[in-house]
Amino acid sequence: MHISAKLQAAAKEKKATYSFEFFPPKTAQGVQNLYDRMDRMHNFGPSFIDITWGAGGRHASLTCEMVKVAQTVYGLETCMHLTCTDMPKSKIDDALKEAHDAGCTNILALRGDPPREKEKWEATSGGFRYAKDLVKYIKETYGDHFDIGVAGYPEGCDDNDNPEELIQHLKEKVDLGGTFIVTQMFYDADIFLDWVKKVRAAGIDVPIVPGIMPISTHAAFLRRANWSNIHVPPHWHEALEPVKNDDAAVRDVGTGLVVELCRKLMDNGIQHLHFYTMNLAQSTRMIIEELSITPSQDTPLEKPLPWRQSLGLNRRDENVRPIFWRNRNRSYIARTQDWDEFPNGRWGDSRSPAYGELDTYGIGLKGTNEQNRKLWGEPKSFGDVATLFANYMQGKVESLPWSESPITDEADALRKDLINLNQRGLLTINSQPPVDGAKSSHPVYGWGPRNGYVYQKAYLEVLVSPELISELITRMERNPNITYFAVNQHGDLKTNSPDEGPNAVTWGVFPGKEIVQPTIVETVSFLAWRDEFYRLGSDWSRCYDATSPSRYVIDDLMQNWYLVNIVNNDFREQRGIFPLFDELEVPDLNKEITAPEAPQKVNGVTNGEKHEEEPKVGNGDVTDSKIPDSVHKKLETQINGAEEKPDTEPKDATAHNTGAGPSTSV
């Protein structure tokens, strides 16, 4: 969606909104850290984000990559900066095509700063000299596909401090196709408001977005203000000087000063604030929380669907997904990125989804082996694993191999039962409570258009030991409201599902619309998830030395335990799934497992045999696979890829100076 349309819609509703700027980090670990932060900051509810242009080879391509990830994976409406610096027309074309193909519909067109090795800006041969030329070219080439933002300078820029001339340049950019304005940072509200009046008097009527720089440290505050040559009100210096050596105090005092600035802007009709985050969350979060404009119980974050919607090319209308990837959104996007079309309205019985290879980037475990060992400990028994899962359910652990984010508020309704199951060795992977007609505005369960009602069937995905699987299946078969799938690593499938079609587990009823069924359980998708599930578990085991008890414990789980998903089709029955597990407990749960001593290796083999034992088959009472032939044919497209090695580059801790705004030049 175009930023200008978002701003106009918010203005019509008199709703305060905000956006965030990020820049490309210098290391691979820094990029991953930023992606995690962007994912968390999505919950703050920004209208959009923008990503600065990294001039030069790697950082330029990284900008395009970050735009793609933000749009497609995290569902963030993204504006890509694009500059004229060191950019011949051919590179401009490449960048615009990448943005277009990523589903991006917003560009901030800038002249850019001079390269570091040059004192003055010079046009690149075959490129553009001014931002207005870039605006014109984008408009001529892509028509109305891109909403084109341009830069505004309330206090001048480095090579022009003539305000009248700068406003004339601004008008030229708008006349050639600019549809919204983002300003350089400032700390004096009166200067900005006076400048806005002059801009409007010049006949410029597009939305104006003020650039706000949070204050994190005193040194950074002075450096950015001096670099941008902006006026700082005297009382700001008076407030910050006494605490300048205490970063926490500077952040607290600075938050109060910036909140004061923002309130004055909002009192004068400015409804959107754009924050230069410097890739940090805390200072920005403190400001918007103090302004009381973040999502809350009374004004929850609006969700079009119960899962994070992708804004990638051709995915904006996607509205049906399998529930299995609920906690691994990035993986689902990666494994479906080559689909020609995406489900809209219904999954369809005839659909044959070809899920991508398991070595696709974004599917493997995050973090290094060392980081994962620190996060998940070194289990020596199944009981240690059960404790890890129970701790995750209690919010004591931030993630698991199959859940990339902390436990959500939705789990509160099930938390006691989930903790109890895990403590008995029944390891819960995914779940949702039953919901019988909650308002679509409900702060936890709500999604979709206003004045609607949403429904859910109870769902549970659990890893079950071979000693318990037969008894559990017997109990599930007795309950007419239960449908289930149980499968092990070797593909032995047991199910009572009447057919291979989808079973909707989430749906919504909205005024003037057909019933929407955005979340389903379906055979082929579950078996594709099975491959990924056991692969992730295997990757987890490889975080430990081959002779360690932890490696042996996790390998046993992966080789012998069953992945089971259960749906209670009576959505009004509140505890319909959990009684199935009454009095079931893994025997000898806390018995420590001793890894066998490594035999002597001879020429790459051990006494002429393979290094590892052949995997064991699960409980013999489970019947042979009942995968239909038609499903077998569909599964021929599922390919297991090579092991993805975790990123081992150091954490990026370098503060990057983006210029504290869209650009310092016109």
And the tokens for 543? 């975080």
Beta sheet of 453-456, edge-to-edge order: 321-322, 516-521, 503-509, 453-456, 435-439
Q: 633: alpha, beta or left, given left = phi > 0 and alpha = psi -120 to 50? A: alpha
> What's the CA angle centered on 662, arms 659 and 666, to 5 degrees?
100
HSE-up of residue 173 (Cα within 13 Å, Cβ side): 30
Annotation says 583 is catalytic = no
Written as one letter, the residue type at 566 is I
DSSP codes of every residue in 566-588: EEES-TT-TTSSGGGGTT---TT
First and final CA of the chain: distance in angstroms?
26
Bridge-based pairing of strands 503-509 and 453-456 is antiparallel
DSSP codes of every residue in 197-243: HHHHHTT--S-EEEEE-----HHHHHHHHHHHT----HHHHHHHGGG
Written as one letter, the residue type at 490 is H
User: Which residues 6+ apart lie within 8 Å of 79 measured at CB?
Assistant: 3, 48, 49, 50, 51, 104, 106, 107, 108, 147, 149
And the tokens for 370? 């060392």
DSSP codes of every residue in 405-433: SPPPGGGGGTHHHHHHHHHTT-EEEEEE-
> What's the CA angle centered on 496, arms 495 and 499, to 5 degrees?
95
Cα–Cα distance for residue pair 127/115, rounded to 1 Å = 15
Residue 103 vs residues 47, 65, 70, 603: alpha-carbon distances, Å: 16, 12, 10, 53
- Closest-CA residue to 541 (of 549, 551, 533): 551
User: What is the three-state SS of 354-403?
Assistant: CCCCCCCCCCCCCCCHHHHHHHHCCCCCHHHHHHHHHHHHCCCCCCECCE
Q: Which of 13, 21, 341, 378 is catalytic?
A: 21
Write 658-661 long-range contacts (CB < 8 A, 24+): 658/21, 658/23, 658/52, 658/276, 658/278, 659/113, 659/227, 659/228, 660/184, 660/185, 660/211, 660/213, 660/224, 660/227, 660/228, 660/276, 661/151, 661/182, 661/183, 661/184, 661/185, 661/211, 661/228, 661/276
DSSP codes of every residue in 433-454: --EEEEETT-TTT--SSTT-EE
- Are 297 and 443 spatial neighbours (Cβ–Cβ below 8 Å)? yes
Residue 605 vs residues 405, 556, 595: alpha-carbon distances, Å: 40, 22, 19
Cα–Cα distance for residue pair 431/415, rounded to 1 Å = 10
Cα–Cα distance for residue pair 164/198, rounded to 1 Å = 9
Phi, psi of 653 (to 5 degrees): -125, 20
User: Which residues 6+ apart lie within 8 Å of 346 measured at CB?
Assistant: 320, 502, 517
Burial class (CB in 10 A: 0-12, 13-18, 19+), 514: exposed
Active centre residues (catalytic): 21
